[in-house]
Amino acid sequence: MTVREIADTLGFRCVAGGRSLDREVTSGYASDLLSDVMGNASEGGIWLTSQVHQNVVAVALLLDLSAVVIAGGLEMNDDGIARAEAEGVPILSTEMSAFEAVGRLYELGVRGDL
């Protein structure tokens, strides 16, 4: 499933990195602790968080994640949006709580690494 298919199906809004929405999503990870994500998320994954600063983009680039979803109606800050746009990292936003968004991703078949 691609980032675009997930965004369209779940109503996630793309706030940056729209040119990379056709990337395949291979897994999912949810955490607000950057070191936890760096140690446990996988390349090609979609990361769900409530962090909204440019370090989120740095971690996504480091791990070659397919996308980042910002939950709870929060908005990525301007520096983060600019960096994500420049680097082609899809940043999606949802009004859903993190709990609901993870559940909906799971319903779509996105799984964590085993």
CATH number at residue 24: 3.40.1390.20
Mean pLDDT of 63-89: 97
The answer as to whether 113 is a domain residue is no
The answer as to whether 103 is a domain residue is yes
Residue 82, class by beta-carbon neighbours within 10 Å (0-12 exposed, 13-18 middle, 19+ buried)?
middle
State which residues form the domain around 88: 3-107
The answer as to whether 75 is a domain residue is yes
Residue type present at position 88: G
Mean pLDDT of 56-76: 97
Q: At residue 113, does pLDDT exceed 90?
A: no
pLDDT in tens, 11-29: 999 999 999 999 999 999 9
- Confidence band of 114 (pLDDT split at 50, 70, 90): low
The answer as to whether 8 is a domain residue is yes
